[in-house]
Amino acid sequence: MKVAIGLVVVASLAACQSVSDVVPTGQGTYLVGANVHGGLKSDAEVTALSIKRGTEFCAAMGKQFELTQSSNSGTQGWTPQQSQIMFRCT
């Protein structure tokens, strides 16, 4: 019984996360977003998901990631959290 309750608690705290594809926005800038539903990730951790995708995208072109803008919404552990970043590859 205790194990079953523990599993329910762990499952409710587990986060479902996704990161969008990189989208060109013109003039050498790109947009990427991350979403986390449930769990207890901080805004910084959600933003890091987006930054990681952007960094990988730039590295594949042999370039460096440069963050130009970021925004977050949602409340940790209460509502879905979202992060959007704008960046360029230099």
Which amino acid appears at position 68 of this protein? T
pLDDT in tens, 3-61: 545 444 444 455 699 999 999 999 999 999 999 998 889 999 999 999 999 999 999 99
Neighbouring-strand partners of residue 1: none
Alpha-carbon distance of 32 to 12, in angstroms, equals 27
Indicate the pTM of the whole model.
0.80
Task: Classify residue 22 by its DSSP letter.
Answer: P
Residue ranges of the domains in the chain? 15-89
Q: Which residues of 51-66 are buried (b: 16+ CB within 10 A; e: fewer)?
A: bebbbebbeeeeeebe
Q: From the DSSP assignment, how many helices (H) and strands (E) are in the chain?
A: 2, 5
